[in-house]
């Protein structure tokens, strides 16, 4: 992108929410510019395990408590419609995204009795979801015990889908610019998006779909919290485990599905069919745990106890989930902003359906149509029943500011091994220090550029993550994920010896 440009709508963020919104608007003849500071799908869409479920992951028992039966019915309707929309788009656009309808099974964690299943089944039925209780799931390779069965859920390959959607978008005249970071959004009759490279985009509406919006300071960030989740993948013999979505009642829950692929796709030298078991869980509040290896280890042990056909773990990755205080995403007009600035955030562990709902809902709002889900997902909403969660998460955020007075994590830069980072204290300030593969030290301020919490090193992703509202920065301090919109402040390099003099544990 080299020049200022005009469009009907500017969409910021090329993950599933942004791309779906851009695609649906383009299909209605609107002129749309889609920008992303990286490449499409380089954020959380690229690391999701892509469960497509209308059984909300907090459970309908909780959704009915927080949103009432009518709200739960709308939530169920919206997630079912999102799965159907993905299936329809794959068919209409000829996108081979490995979309399949599969059953979902919710099974008991050892600490729970069957009562929890009875209650959830009753709540899900009140929400309008088809569900039955079984003595065990009728599947190969897994002894579930008592479980709930949700027919006709789904799974797909999110990046194949995203790429197909972008091709369809550009065929319809949509414009996509990667490597363009939006820095400010000014709403109003003619909204203006300013970008880091310089060119500006003028439009009649702006959609901020950057996982966590950078255009909001308090209104949304106090109502959602960042959590980190871990995933492993291991080969299983073909058909050893029936493809389905499996998850348990543990808190945080474990989640499992099967992805069929080819040996060549995994780097092998033939096209033999390969099934990969994908297992996730071990979530914790972002940047508030550093036992990454232990968490991957616990996940593997959990898998081996339940899926004995799994071979060695070949794949490991992690991702961030934005958990809202009431279990549903924030989708609609940005609070305290002009009427033509829209946001989509708060994936709540269901980013693929919430992202698709965002596309459908925001498209309706921009096109001036009523949408029955608008009030349910309104980012300005406050649910009285969520007050306890709001208080708990915001007390947790307040507690993070005590990091200003705690010691550093290492007493000498020598303790930082290549390709890792640690927080050190230099006099009164905290410094985020990264040692690259070549042994060179890189230092940035550890103070998050959003609201000043102290970031922490994420071993699983080699990033600096903020424990307060989910901002993430690469090892050199460049912002990857909002709400922060600015990089961590660079600290002038001293020689390593001199820097060591200032390190205080």
- Judged by beta carbon, residue 367 or residue 406, the one nearer ligand FES is 406
- Judged by beta carbon, residue 53 or residue 449, the one nearer ligand FES is 449
- Judged by beta carbon, residue 177 or residue 476, the one nearer ligand FES is 476
Count Cα atoms within 13 angstroms, Cβ side, for 123. 22
CB of 183 to ligand FES, least distance (A): 17
Residue whose tokens read 């994908």: 278
CB of 287 to ligand FES, least distance (A): 9
Out of 165, 466, 491, 503, the only residue in the binding site for ligand FES (CB under 6 A) is: 466
Beta bridge partners of 11: 34, 207
DSSP-derived 3-state class of residue 269: coil
Distance CA 321, CA 393 (A): 14
Instruction: At 90, list the tokens.
Output: 């794959």
Out of 164, 358, 450, 464, the only residue in the binding site for ligand FES (CB under 6 A) is: 450
Q: How many residues bind ligand FES (CB under 6 A)?
A: 12
Residue whose tokens read 């059984």: 55
CB of 448 to ligand FES, least distance (A): 3
Out of 13, 18, 187, 483, the only residue in the binding site for ligand FES (CB under 6 A) is: 483
Instruction: At 285, list the tokens.
Output: 């509040």
Distance CA 349, CA 58 (A): 9
CB of 224 to ligand FES, least distance (A): 11
According to the binding rule CB under 6 A, does residue 287 interact with ligand FES? no
- 207-220 burial code (b ≥16 CB/10 A, e <16): bbbbbbbbbbeebb
Residues 6+ apart with CB under 8 A from 216: 334, 335, 336, 337, 343, 483
According to the binding rule CB under 6 A, does residue 471 interact with ligand FES? yes
Instruction: Tell me which stretch binds ligand FES (CB under 6 A): 116-124, 145-153, 377-385, 444-452.
Output: 444-452
CB of 167 to ligand FES, least distance (A): 34
Q: Are strands 313-324 and 191-195 parallel, antiparallel or unpaired?
A: unpaired
According to the binding rule CB under 6 A, does residue 477 interact with ligand FES? no
According to the binding rule CB under 6 A, does residue 295 interact with ligand FES? no
According to the binding rule CB under 6 A, does residue 341 interact with ligand FES? no
Instruction: Tell me which stretch binds ligand FES (CB under 6 A): 75-83, 110-118, 254-262, 469-477.
Output: 469-477
Q: 9 and 28 in contact (C-beta within 8 Å)? A: no
- Judged by beta carbon, residue 361 or residue 451, the one nearer ligand FES is 451
- Judged by beta carbon, residue 286 or residue 371, the one nearer ligand FES is 286
Find the radius of gyration of the CA atoms of the chain.
23
- Judged by beta carbon, residue 217 or residue 387, the one nearer ligand FES is 217
Out of 47, 147, 360, 468, the only residue in the binding site for ligand FES (CB under 6 A) is: 468
According to the binding rule CB under 6 A, does residue 79 interact with ligand FES? no
- Judged by beta carbon, residue 65 or residue 486, the one nearer ligand FES is 486
Out of 102, 215, 287, 453, the only residue in the binding site for ligand FES (CB under 6 A) is: 453
Out of 484, 488, 491, 503, the only residue in the binding site for ligand FES (CB under 6 A) is: 484
Distance CA 42, CA 175 (A): 18
Q: Quick count: other Cβ atoms within 10 Å of Cβ 385?
A: 13
- Judged by beta carbon, residue 174 or residue 482, the one nearer ligand FES is 482
Instruction: At 446, list the tokens.
Output: 């550890």
Out of 205, 330, 469, 477, the only residue in the binding site for ligand FES (CB under 6 A) is: 469
- Judged by beta carbon, residue 43 or residue 483, the one nearer ligand FES is 483
Range 427-431 contact pairs with CB under 8 angstroms and sequence separation of 24 or more:
427/502, 427/504, 430/403, 430/404, 430/454, 431/491
CB of 466 to ligand FES, least distance (A): 3
- Judged by beta carbon, residue 218 or residue 315, the one nearer ligand FES is 218
Beta bridge partners of 429: 426
Q: 54 and 79 in contact (C-beta within 8 Å)? A: yes
Instruction: At 201, list the tokens.
Output: 């985009």
Angle at the Cα of 258 from the Cα atoms of 260 and 330, rounded to 5 degrees: 115
According to the binding rule CB under 6 A, does residue 472 interact with ligand FES? no
Residues 6+ apart with CB under 8 A from 265: 274
According to the binding rule CB under 6 A, does residue 451 interact with ligand FES? yes
Which residues of this protein are in contact with ligand FES, per CB under 6 A?
Answer: 448, 450-453, 466, 468-471, 483-484
């Amino acid at each position: 992108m080299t020049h200022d440009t005009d469009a009907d709508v500017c969409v910021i963020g090329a993950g599933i929410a942004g791309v779906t919104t851009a695609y649906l608007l383009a299909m209605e003849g609107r002129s749309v510019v889609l920008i992303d500071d990286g490449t499409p799908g380089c954020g959380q869409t690229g690391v999701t395990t892509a469960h497509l479920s209308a059984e909300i992951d907090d459970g309908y028992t909780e959704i009915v408590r927080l949103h009432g039966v009518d709200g739960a019915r709308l939530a169920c309707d919206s997630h079912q419609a999102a799965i159907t929309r993905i299936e329809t788009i794959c068919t209409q656009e000829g996108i081979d995204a490995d979309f399949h309808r599969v059953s979902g099974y919710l099974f008991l964690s050892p600490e729970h009795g069957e009562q929890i299943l009875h209650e959830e089944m009753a709540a899900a039925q009140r929400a309008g979801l088809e569900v039955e209780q079984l003595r065990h799931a009728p599947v190969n390779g897994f002894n579930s015990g008592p479980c709930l069965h949700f027919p006709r859920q789904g799974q797909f390959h999110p990046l194949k889908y995203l790429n197909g959607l972008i091709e369809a978008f550009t065929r319809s005249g949509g414009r996509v610019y990667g490597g363009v970071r939006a820095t400010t959004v000014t709403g109003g009759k003619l909204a203006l998006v300013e970008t880091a490279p310089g060119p500006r985009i003028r439009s009649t509406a702006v959609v901020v779909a950057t996982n966590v919006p950078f255009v909001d300071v308090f209104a949304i960030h106090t109502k959602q919290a960042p959590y980190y989740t871990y995933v492993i993948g291991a080969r299983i013999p073909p058909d050893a485990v029936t493809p389905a979505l499996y998850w348990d009642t543990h808190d945080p829950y474990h989640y499992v599905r099967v992805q069929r692929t080819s040996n060549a796709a995994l780097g092998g030298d033939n096209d033999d069919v390969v099934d990969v078991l994908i297992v996730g869980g071990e979530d914790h509040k972002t940047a508030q745990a550093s036992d990454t290896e232990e968490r991957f280890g616990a996940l593997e042990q959990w898998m081996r106890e339940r899926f004995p056909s799994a071979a060695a773990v070949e794949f490991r990755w992690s991702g961030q989930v934005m958990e809202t205080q009431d279990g549903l995403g924030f989708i609609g007009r940005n609070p305290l902003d002009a009427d033509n600035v829209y946001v989509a955030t708060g994936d709540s562990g269901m980013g693929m359906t919430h992202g698709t709902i965002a596309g459908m809902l925001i498209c309706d709002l921009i096109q001036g149509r009523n949408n029955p889900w608008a009030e349910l997902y309104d980012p300005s909403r406050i649910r009285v029943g969520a007050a306890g969660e709001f208080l708990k998460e915001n007390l947790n955020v307040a507690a993070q500011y005590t990091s200003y007075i705690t010691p550093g994590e290492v007493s000498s830069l020598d303790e930082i091994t290549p390709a890792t980072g640690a927080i050190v204290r230099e006099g009164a300030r905290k410094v985020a220090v990264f040692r690259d593969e070549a042994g060179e030290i890189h230092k940035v301020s550890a103070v998050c550029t959003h609201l000043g919490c102290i970031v922490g090193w994420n071993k699983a992703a080699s990033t600096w993550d903020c424990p307060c509202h989910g901002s993430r920065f690469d090892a050199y301090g460049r912002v990857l994920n909002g709400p922060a919109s600015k990089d961590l402040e660079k600290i002038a390099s001293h020689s390593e010896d001199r820097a060591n003099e200032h390190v205080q544990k």
